[in-house]
């Protein structure tokens, strides 16, 4: 019996007088979650909930630290960075970072070097991040609708920057996910700030602070940073924090978007294009986004259905929600910071082949996703494809080609998870509140 246990009178944080349960776990020390302050006690909801949830998107604010980058020619540049994940469990605990055990076997070709002084100052080696280009990929002097400044350098397919740094830290050879957010004062020398993100909550989803921005990759209307300040006494960067579903809805991971491969998605998202990500292999794990039934904007997303020839979607997918294209939020394969977790995501795009509402609507886990694919109800694409003529391959786009075990993924995004919500604990809080009332 519990009364016989030695802890019966010690107040060990359980029972009527224990602490209030908290469904929110923040995995990166110093990260402040805002615009989701009521999430502990409000309905989590999904894209088809009534009322629509107001928690599809929030903000993660990180303190920025000053470091130095030294390139191959010995040029030194001041940079501002955030440490987010590390491959070693003990260091993750010590430094207050997410434990990304899935980075242990990251190929050397996908990494860059760094060193840490005894006082804790970081030095990064190799190229600075590629310049942040906007769409269309042309300069102002080219005329037309071009917004990129004439002085912006070209992106380099051989650029050696990687946020994944090989470091000997305290005698341990480990991999850090160390993101350089700013490396100069020009508009292309920091992750793009989305000036079209005006207010929270983003309700209806993808209206006041859209996933990628109001216009596809434009200089002032897209990006994943909402604010960056390196001039004040406490430098910081605030980044969009995106909701996703996992484990059949048991957990909600919230993630951020930091850099990517290849160059096209980098322009669209306003983040650095990292050529080294193409060598990640099995250190990248799947995350599947959803294509909606109709276009979010005239310019995007590209639709995989023949109906796009008339400028429309196919009407099958859910056309509400906080995902990147206006459909439901995405599905990561594994996200909890521990030995199998990796912040590097191999992105696939699910396209419904039948009306989503006829088969459960919102998908909340990989098990259900794979069942739907096996039953021929949806396909998963490596990219949201242009129109397929007569369902053939006239455009050169493969159909249902996403490979969950692909070791050379064509689209990789650095999407670490600084925060998760345990929906079981969330339901307990709601029940306690209902009983109390």
Does the pLDDT at position 114 exceed 60?
yes
User: Are 98 and 85 within 8 A, CB to CB?
Assistant: yes
Does the pLDDT at position 18 exceed 70?
no
- List the one residue out of 364, 305, 294, 302 whose CA is nearest residue 329: 364
Strands 122-125 and 65-70: parallel
Question: Under DSSP, is residue 85 helix (H, G, I), strand (E, B) or coil?
Answer: strand
pLDDT at 398: 55
Higher pLDDT, 350 or 298: 350
Q: Which residue has the tokens 């030695």?
A: 6
The 10s digit of each residue's pLDDT in 77-96 is 999 999 999 999 999 999 99
Instruction: Tell me the C-alpha distance between 20 and 421, whole Å.
Output: 15
Segment 348-361 shows an average pLDDT of: 92
| 420, β-bridge pairs | 25, 253
Phi, psi of 271 (to 5 degrees): -130, 165
Does the pLDDT at position 163 exceed 80?
yes
Instruction: Tell me the C-alpha distance between 236 and 229, whole Å.
Output: 5
Question: Under DSSP, is residue 10 helix (H, G, I), strand (E, B) or coil?
Answer: coil
Largest CA distance in the chain: 82
pLDDT at 115: 97
pLDDT at 303: 61
Higher pLDDT, 400 or 242: 242
Higher pLDDT, 64 or 333: 64
User: Are 342 and 100 within 8 A, CB to CB?
Assistant: yes
Does the pLDDT at position 102 exceed 70?
yes
| 236, β-bridge pairs | 63, 229
Does the pLDDT at position 307 exceed 50?
no
Compute the mean pLDDT over every residue in the chain, rounded to the nearest whole number: 89
- b/e map 244-272, b = 16+ CB within 10 Å: bbbbeeebbbbbbbbbbbbbbbbbbbbbb
pLDDT at 431: 81
User: Are 268 and 278 within 8 A, CB to CB?
Assistant: no
pLDDT at 235: 98
Phi, psi of 367 (to 5 degrees): -60, -50
Rounded to the nearest 5 percent, the helix, strand and coil shares of the chain are 15, 25, 55
| 225, β-bridge pairs | 193, 239
Instruction: Tell me the C-alpha distance between 283 and 153, whole Å.
Output: 30
Q: How does residue 171 score in pLDDT terms, banded at 50, 70 and 90?
A: very high
In this structure, what token pair is assigned to residue 249?
Answer: 């809805």
- List the one residue out of 156, 183, 212, 229 whose CA is nearest residue 67: 183
Strands 76-86 and 172-182: antiparallel
Higher pLDDT, 320 or 18: 320
Does the pLDDT at position 1 exceed 80?
no
User: What would the DSSP string read from start to end of 285-305?
Assistant: EEEEEE--SS-SBTTBPPPSS
User: Are 33 and 26 within 8 A, CB to CB?
Assistant: yes
pLDDT at 333: 87
Q: How does residue 336 score in pLDDT terms, banded at 50, 70 and 90?
A: confident
- List the one residue out of 30, 101, 55 whose CA is nearest residue 423: 55
User: Are 110 and 164 within 8 A, CB to CB?
Assistant: yes
Segment 142-165 shows an average pLDDT of: 97
Instruction: Tell me the C-alpha distance between 112 and 196, whole Å.
Output: 34
What are the residues whose beta carbons fall under 8 Å from the beta carbon of 413, sequence distance 6 or more?
257, 258, 259, 260, 265, 269, 287, 344, 345, 347
The 10s digit of each residue's pLDDT in 26-82 is 999 999 999 998 899 989 999 999 999 999 999 999 999 999 999 999 999 999 999
User: What would the DSSP string read from start to end of 149-208?
Assistant: -TTPPPP-TT----SEEEEEETTEEEEEEEEEEESSSSTTSBPPB-TT---SS--SSSSS
Segment 241-262 shows an average pLDDT of: 95
Q: pTM of the entire structure? A: 0.91
Phi, psi of 95 (to 5 degrees): -95, -5
Q: How does residue 2 score in pLDDT terms, banded at 50, 70 and 90?
A: very low
Instruction: Tell me the C-alpha distance between 206 and 324, whole Å.
Output: 8
Instruction: Tell me the C-alpha distance between 24 and 52, whole Å.
Output: 21
């Amino acid at each position: 019996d519990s009364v016989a246990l030695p802890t019966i009178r010690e107040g060990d944080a359980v029972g009527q007088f224990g602490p209030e349960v908290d469904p929110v776990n923040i995995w990166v020390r110093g990260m402040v979650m805002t615009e989701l302050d009521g999430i502990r006690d409000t309905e989590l909801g999904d894209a088809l909930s009534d009322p629509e949830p107001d928690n599809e998107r929030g903000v993660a604010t990180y303190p920025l630290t000053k470091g130095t980058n030294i390139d191959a020619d010995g040029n030194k540049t001041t940079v501002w960075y955030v440490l987010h994940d590390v491959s070693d469990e003990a260091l993750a605990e010590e430094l207050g970072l997410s434990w990304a055990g899935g980075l242990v076997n990251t190929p050397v070709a996908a990494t860059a070097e760094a060193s840490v002084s005894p006082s804790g100052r970081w030095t990064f080696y190799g190229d600075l991040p590629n310049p942040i280009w906007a769409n269309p990929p042309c300069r102002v002097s080219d005329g037309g609708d071009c917004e990129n400044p004439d002085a912006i350098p070209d992106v380099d397919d051989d650029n050696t920057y990687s946020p994944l740094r090989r470091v000997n830290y305290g005698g341990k050879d480990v991999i850090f996910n160390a993101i350089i957010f700013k490396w100069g004062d020009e508009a292309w020398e920091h992750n793009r700030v989305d000036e079209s993100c005006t207010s929270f909550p983003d309700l209806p989803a993808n209206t006041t602070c859209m996933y990628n921005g109001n216009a596809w990759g434009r200089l002032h209307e897209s990006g994943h940073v909402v604010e960056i300040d390196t001039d004040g006494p406490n430098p910081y960067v605030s980044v969009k924090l995106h909701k996703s579903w996992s484990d059949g809805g048991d957990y909600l991971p919230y993630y951020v978007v930091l850099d990517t491969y290849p160059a096209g998605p980098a322009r669209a998202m306003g983040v650095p294009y990292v050529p080294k990500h193409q060598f990640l292999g099995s250190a990248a794990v799947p995350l599947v986004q959803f294509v909606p039934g109709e276009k979010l904007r005239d310019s995007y997303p590209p639709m995989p259905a023949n109906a796009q020839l008339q400028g429309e979607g196919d009407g099958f997918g859910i056309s509400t929600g906080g995902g990147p294209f206006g459909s439901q939020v995405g599905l990561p394969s594994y996200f909890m910071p521990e030995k199998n977790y990796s912040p590097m995501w191999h992105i696939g795009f699910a396209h419904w082949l039948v009306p989503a509402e006829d088969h459960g609507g919102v998908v909340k886990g990989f098990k259900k996703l794979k069942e739907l694919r096996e039953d021929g109800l949806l396909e998963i694409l490596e990219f949201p494809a242009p129109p397929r003529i007569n369902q053939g391959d006239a455009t050169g786009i493969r159909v249902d080609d996403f490979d969950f075990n692909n070791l050379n993924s064509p689209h990789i995004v650095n999407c670490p998870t600084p925060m998760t919500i345990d929906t079981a604990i969330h339901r307990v809080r709601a029940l306690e509140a209902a009983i109390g009332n």
